[in-house]
Every structure is written in C-alpha cells, then in structure tokens.
Amino acid sequence: MWNYLIQRLFYSIFVLIGISLIVFITVRLTGDPVAMLLQDGNPSQEDLDEMRRLLDLDKPVPVQYVNFLAKAVTGDFGRSFRYSTPALGLVLERMPATLKLTLAAMSVAVLIAFPLGIISAVSRGSPLDFGVRLVSLIGISMPNFWLGIILIIIFGVNLRWLPVSGSGGLKYLIMPAIALGSALAGTLTRLLRSSMLDVLSDDYIRTARAKGLSGRMVLTRHALRNALIPVLTILGLQFGLLLGGAVIIENVFAWPGVGRLVVTSIGLRDYPVVQASVILLAVILLTVNLLVDLLYTVVDPRVTLD
Amino acid sequence: MFGKSRFSRRDFLKTTAALGLGGAMSSSLLAACAPAGPAPAGAPAAEGGAAGPSGSVTIALHFDLQSLDPIKTFALNNGRWQKNVFGYLIKRDEEMNPVPGGGLALSWEQEDDLNVVFKLREGVKFHNGEDFNADAVVYSFERLLDEANASPQRFNYTAIDRFEKVDDYTVRMTLNEVDPVIITKLAGYGGAIVPPQFVEEQGADYVSATDIPGTGPYQIVEYRKDDSLTLEAFDGYWGEAPKIKTLVYRIIPDEATRLAEFLAGGVDVVQLQPSQVAAVEGSEDLEVFPTGVPTVNGLRLDASKPPTDNVKVRAAICHAIDTQTVIDTILQGYAVPMAVWQSPYSFGYDPELQPYAYDPDLAKQLLAESGVADPTLVYNVIGDDATAKEIANTVAAMLEAVGFTVTIAQKERATYFDDYRAGTLDNIVPFGWGGWTLDADNTYYSMYYTGESYNPGFSDPEIDALLDEQRSTLDQERRKEILFQVNKLIYDQYPDAMLYQAQYLWGVNKRVKDLALPADERLWFASASVS
C-alpha cells in the first residue's frame, strides 16, 4: 500500500512536469500579452520592450520555462499580468467555489443516478426502465449551458424561486449544480444499470437468492457493491470533465470560480494565471484519481494495491 | 405545467428567444477609456428627499474590475463605478467642457503654453479621513507617471513633466510639450486623486485588491474578485449628499444571464443588446434608455492591399453598402449613421459632412472605372462577435450585388487585434473606436497618421502635416479649422465604409430615479435615488 502510494506520487511529479511544459508552451502560442495589455495606450516600441522586460518575457522560452519551474517548486507562479497580484493566490482564492460547485454537481449526479440506475436494472424491459433510459439520454445530450439558461428562465425569472446568478448560500448552488451534474447523472444511470444487469445475472446472485436472502439484501449487499467498481472509475474520470464543464457553467451563473478565471485569463493572455490554474487543477485531478484507486480496495476486498 | 405564476407560454418563448440570441462580447476593450461625460439621459425625476441615504441598487458589470487602483485600469467597464469613488481635478459638463469648480480644482490658470496653476478645493477629506491637498495631487500624478508602476494609463499623460506644490491648496502643472487636450484628460481615469499616506502604508497589492479611498460620494466596502464590488455612501462627501445608501456592482459575464437578472429584479441597471430589448418591452417595472456613445463603428478598408489600394474600389464599397438597412435590421435601429470616424461628442465633429450615399449604380460604375480585373475582397471578423458576423454577412451580400466577390475570414479576438496592429489583416476590417478624450485628435492621430499602431495601411502626407500642426497649437478655433480640413480630406479618400455611432441601451429598473447615464459609461449615482 505505502509502496504503491510512493510510486504513484513519484509518477505524478512527471505528469505535472509534462503538463506544465504543455501549458507553458501552448499559452505562449496564443500571442503577445504585452500588446494586449497596452493596446489602449497607443504605446511606442520602447514602451512595449520595457513592459516585456518587466514581465520577464524578453528571454528565450526555454530560459523562461526553467525560471518558471524553479520558482513554481517554491509555490511562486509569478504575478498576474491583469491583477498584478500573485497568480497562485488568485487561483487558490477561487478554488473553493469551483470545488463546491463540482462536488455539488457530483452529489446531484449520484443522488439521481443511484436510485434510477437500480430501479431501471431491476425492472428491466418495463416502461419504467424505458422512461429512465430516455431521461438519462436526455440528460447526457443536453448542453449544460443550455439547461442552465432554461433553469434560469423557469426558476429564476418566471417563478422567482431561486436567485438567477451569483454566489452565496445553498440556494445559489442549486441551479448550477443541476445544470453541471445532469450529464454525469445520465452517464452514471446508464452505467449503473448495465453494470447491475451484468452482476444480477452472475451465479453468486442466484446463490444468494437461493439461500433465501431478501431481494433487497441481494441488491444492496451483493449486487450493488459489485456493480460499483466501474461506476467509481467513471466517477473519478468524470471529475475532470466536471471541472471542465464548470468553466461554462461558472460563466452562465456568474459563479466566481477557477473556470471563469481561466477563460478570462486566456482571453487576456494572462500567462501566469493560466499556468497556475491548469497545474493546480491537474494536481486536484491526480489526487481524486488516486483516491478512487484507494477506494477500490474498500469496495472490493479482492483488489490490493501492491 | 408551470403552475399559476406569471408565466405564460408566450413569455417563455419570448424570453427564450431573447436569451438565446447573440453571444457577442460587444463591449470592446478597444473602445475603452472615455473620460468624464456629457449628456445624462436621466430617468424621470424623483419626488421629495429622504433624510440620510437609504436603499440599495445593483448594477451589472460585464467583466471583473481590472483593479481597484485607478491607474491600473483602462477598460470602460471600470467607469461605471470609479467616478462614484474617486475625485478628479476636472469635471466636465454635458457639452464636454471642463467646469470650473466642478471637480477638485476650483479654478485653473494657464501661465503659458507649458504651465497651468490649479487652485484646489479646501476642506475635502478622503474616505479614510486623510486631507485632500496639494501633496495628494502631486503624489497621485507622480505615481501615475512613475514607469515602475507600469500604468496602462500613463501614455495618455506623458505630456505632463511634473506637478509641484505652490502652497497647500495650489499646484502647478508643468508640461514637456503642448497638449491641447490635457485639461480634459485630467477628468480621465488616470487623473483620480488618491490619499498618499494610505497608499504608501498599505502598498500596491492591498490598494489593488482590497481597498483604496477616494474623495467621491461613495466608498469601497468590499470587493470580491470576479463576483462583486460593494460601495456605501460616504457621509463626509464635499458635494451634495448621495441619496442611495448602497451600490452593489455584480460581475455577470454572460449576456443572457444579465438579461435574466434584470428581468427577475436581481439587477437594477444593465447594458442590453439590441436583440434583448424586445424581452424588456411591455414590462411595468423596467425601462430602456438608448444613449449615444462616443464609439464609432466602421469597416476599415486597407489602403495598402489590393484591390482596396485603389481609391475607386474603396469608393465603390462605400456606396454599395446600405448602412441604414444594416442599422434598422441588425441593430434594431439603435445607431446613427456617421460620415467619418468622429461622433457628435467629439471636438472636431463636422455636422455638415454627410454619410456616403447608398447608390449601387454609382458603385458599379466606380468599380468599372477602377479597372480592377479581380474584385475579390477578404472581410475579417471576430469569431465571438455575433453582431459583427451578422453585419459581415449582410454587407458581403450588398457588395456581391455590385460585382465584388467577398470571402469572410474569422479570427479569434486577441489575435484579431494583434494582427490589426501588425497590419496583417485583409481588405475589410471591422473596428470600433471611442476616441477616449472626445477629441478628434485621438482617433485621427492613431488611425490615420502614417505608421501609427492603429493605422494598418493609410498614409497621406497632407493629413500627417495637418495633424502635427493641430497638436502644436492651443488655439482651439484654429484646431477646429484644421480638424474640419482633415475630416474632408479623409472623407474624400474613402478609407473606411459603413460608419455609425453606436448607442448603449441602458436597462434601468423604474425604482431607480434620476440616474445619470452619460455617453462614456461613467454612471453617476450621487444624484440618483431609489424607492
């Protein structure tokens, strides 16, 4: 177990270096931030050069990268061109909002998918099963920003039950969490249904039934637990997609998270902020996937990590 | 299906259509930086006056503040709150003329071409209790001009050599070159006066992200990045006491969400798109005020690339476009045709000059006379600007009707502006420019002077000479004469097509009264009230 952990952490370092290199280079392909920063002032060439020097952009890219890496290890990701404050601070400041939204969306997905997936599997071929499959397909197919706008129109503008946008208490979280979580809910429902169907046709389920266990006991103790493994894997992987989806949902609901920060920063070519955000999101994703791997051992005692 | 609330299928469809339309981020950063403002198209007058400020008003911002520190900002977006927090030496009236005594300077005297002495208002306090005096003025401009502070506003003020204290309430401004619009620039973003002691003690990061006191009617209470800025009435304001207690500026990036918030009553003041007006019409609580702005939009015709290097081709393009139809259909009528790149708010605007007439026959004739064998045009457009794309399609059809072949090429926003400055865009380049000083010099110099960064390919020695001449004189009558000459010279060379002055569509909840909606976005809440 510990060996496994150390090994994984060791690999993670290389993954992060790779990601930092990719983001460092791609962000520089988008164009010159200095022209962008000074576009309004009608600056002279000297002004542009001076700005470039101030921002450490006058050196060759490999040199810039090494400088960046050396500082990043100490937690210094440079200063935002836009806000002129430390980039890491900006990202950390918004990370809680994004995590709150993603976790809420995940909870929405799990709360919807578990009952629906199980019901659908148990009543396979019935109209109920058909209904659940249709609903989950709609959930997957609907673009989340569109669902967001529809939710806003119904519950924000017309019924006025929920605030249209912004952040604050739980009521601000409901619509963005549903909009973001609906696609995952659909995916999970379908996955859980097929996974349950697989398991339900296994011998040990028949055995469990044969020895006289109640239907409910068979479902929760034997079937569900075994059907969970693929679901867990997908949940871990989908976490990354949720973080990506949060970018759009954060815009629609004016949610002050990292996604919005990244989008605006790319538009304004705020290199340090883009770099810090992407690397931090990568760290979170790596952590989540490691946790999922650890969870396997809990769900399935047959899995060992050495 | 939706219960018994105020919800009908028709409403739903109407709102859906409006929310779904457009995704354009049309408030261009390029149009940024217009200083103090003319033409308040106010809401109806309020009745009576309550004791002490009360109530709260919420205003939508399109994107986050660049900084709380005025010298770190350049986007017009910031004007919506800054003017309420900071004081400036100069305040301009509706006609854009500096008003003596309107701002923090009671009067000023031009000693010679390069020296101006300002008498300062006494008894003014900053929100933190610091006194406003000559030291604060000297400090604020030293800070703005210090290259180490890398202010994006600095370039507008480089004519200033220094400010010096004469006595506690007198300062002298010394210029290193004549700048005919410098007084007006002092009303601009870079000219905000800040408290020296506070700024020095707290440091740049703090004033940028947490708090900075000014001398305006409202003080900063809380700033949450990418979320909101909360201001509260300052009880020590030197002018008339504000009536509204709290102003909340909410950052809402999505256009559809802004409209939804406005419809739901979550936001009181919002800037709408032409396509969104229909959703607001018929509402008992909401009103729309169209306000002319200094931004002029047009299509730049690159005079350095074939076939638009041929003046007859450019003329043919100009006469082939039915600007009025574009305005009526795509902009729902919310724009005014213009002849050249100057709005009526601009010093140097010539009302006699008429927009190019729509005359397809003349266009065909001009194209034939040009002798160009292959009239193929490439029309650039910014990918995320829905309105510009609609205009591009319409205009392309109009041009093809007179014999041109038009290809529309999309570009990513930031790349577009880089390419624009580098001169690597194609024949037809949509552009909007606000002329931030509200003086023709600003747009004309940067857009037509040979080799300037916003001038991709136009060059005329006569225009260059005239622009230099008007820059070196303080005689405003003479400047006006020269600028009128420049207007005519530019007009005759057809460097740009389809020009119109944009209008901002301010959505205001009727509970907000007497809100000043000036042409430069710098909303002024000191005289407004809320019920």
- Residues of B whose CB is below 8 A from A260: 226, 253
Residue B440 and residue B344 in one domain: yes
Is residue B477 domain-resident? yes
CA closest to B30 among chain A residues:
A40
Is residue B282 domain-resident? no
Is residue B2 domain-resident? no
* CATH code where residue B310 lies: 3.10.105.10
**Which of these, B137, B110, B109, lies nearest to B121 by C-alpha position?**
B137
Residue A273: CB partners within 8 Å, gap ≥ 6? A80, A81, A82, A87, A90, A91, A261, A262, A265
Neighbours of B79 (CB within 10 A): 23
Residue B493 and residue B526 in one domain: no
CA B134 to chain centre: 30
In the predicted model, is pLDDT for residue A218 greater than 60? yes
Question: What is chain A's alpha carbon radius of gyration, rounded to the nearest angstrom?
Answer: 24
Residue B118 and residue B62 in one domain: yes
Pairwise CA distance, residues B23 & B29, whole Å: 16
pLDDT at site B436: 64
Residue range A103-130: average pLDDT?
92
* Optimal mutation site among B257, B411, B412, B416, interface A, most CBs of chain A within 10 A: B257
Is residue B17 domain-resident? no
pLDDT digit string, tens, across residues A152-185: 999 999 999 999 998 888 999 999 999 999 999 9
* Count: domains in chain B: 2
Residue B351 and residue B424 in one domain: yes
Pairwise CA distance, residues B318 & B301, whole Å: 9
- Give the closest-approach CA distance of B88 to chain A in angstroms: 20
- The answer to whether the CB atoms of B414 and A30 lie below 8 A apart is yes
* Residue B72 contacts A where some CB pair is shorter than 8 Å: yes
Give, for all 531 residues of chain B, the pLDDT tens digit.
333 344 444 444 444 444 443 333 333 333 333 333 333 334 444 444 446 899 999 999 988 887 899 988 777 778 889 999 999 999 877 666 788 888 999 999 999 889 999 999 999 999 999 999 999 999 999 999 998 887 777 878 888 999 999 999 999 999 998 888 888 889 888 899 999 999 999 998 889 889 999 999 999 999 988 889 999 999 999 998 999 999 999 999 888 899 999 999 999 999 998 888 988 988 889 999 998 888 899 999 999 999 999 999 999 999 999 999 999 999 989 999 999 999 888 889 999 999 999 999 999 999 999 999 889 999 999 887 888 899 999 999 999 999 999 999 998 877 887 788 788 899 999 998 876 677 888 888 888 998 877 787 899 999 999 999 988 887 888 999 999 999 999 999 999 998 899 888 999 999 999 998 877 778 889 889 998
**Which of these, B423, B434, B400, B421, lies nearest to B502 by C-alpha position?**
B434
Query: Strand B170-175 and strand B160-167: pairing?
Result: antiparallel
Interface of B with A in 89-148 (CB under 8 A): 147
pLDDT digit string, tens, across residues A240-271: 888 888 888 998 999 989 988 888 888 888 89
- Give the closest-approach CA distance of B264 to chain A in angstroms: 5
From residue B308, alpha-carbon distances to A67, B377, B476 in Å are: 47, 8, 35
Residue B496 and residue B357 in one domain: yes
Residue B307 and residue B211 in one domain: no
Determine the 3-state secondary structure of B14 from DSSP: helix
CA A122 to chain centre: 31
* Residue B66 contacts A where some CB pair is shorter than 8 Å: yes
Is residue B121 domain-resident? yes
* Residue B451 contacts A where some CB pair is shorter than 8 Å: no
The percent of chain A in helix, strand and coil, each rounded to the nearest 5, is 80, 0, 20
Residue B485 and residue B520 in one domain: no
CA A141 to chain centre: 18
pLDDT at site B30: 32
Where is pLDDT greater, at A209 or A141? A141
Residue B259 and residue B299 in one domain: no
- Give the closest-approach CA distance of B446 to chain A in angstroms: 7
* Torsional sign, CA B417, B418, B423, B427: negative
pLDDT at site B29: 31
Give me the amino acid identity at B486: V
pLDDT at site A43: 60
Residue B394 and residue B303 in one domain: yes
Residue B262 and residue B300 in one domain: no
Report the residue from A93, A156, A157 with minimal CB separation from B225: A93
Residue B368 and residue B490 in one domain: yes
Full domain range(s) for residue B390: 292-503
Q: Name the helix (H) or strand (E) containing B173.
A: strand B170-175
- Residues of B whose CB is below 8 A from A163: 266
What pTM was computed for the model?
0.80
**Which of these, B465, B512, B61, B94, lies nearest to B286 by C-alpha position?**
B512
Is residue B259 domain-resident? yes
**B351, two tokens:** 């009302």
Q: Name the helix (H) or strand (E) containing A132.
A: helix A127-141
Residue B203 and residue B310 in one domain: no
Q: Where are the extended beta strands (E) located within B6-142?
A: 54-61, 87-88, 91-92, 98-99, 105-112, 115-120
Residue B203: CB partners within 8 Å, gap ≥ 6? none
**B217, two tokens:** 């009617």
Where is pLDDT greater, at A214 or B14? A214
Q: Name the helix (H) or strand (E) containing B82.
A: helix B79-85
Domain annotation for chain A: domains and CATH numbers = 90-268 (1.10.3720.10)
Q: What is the DSSP letter of B4?
A: T
B232 and B225 in contact (C-beta within 8 Å)? no
B191 and B185 in contact (C-beta within 8 Å)? yes
**Which of these, B284, B509, B264, B282, lies nearest to A154 by C-alpha position?**
B264
Give the alpha-carbon dihedral of A68, A69, A71, A72, to 10 degrees: 110
* CATH code where residue B211 lies: 3.40.190.10
Give the alpha-carbon dihedral of A126, A127, A128, A134, to 10 degrees: 120
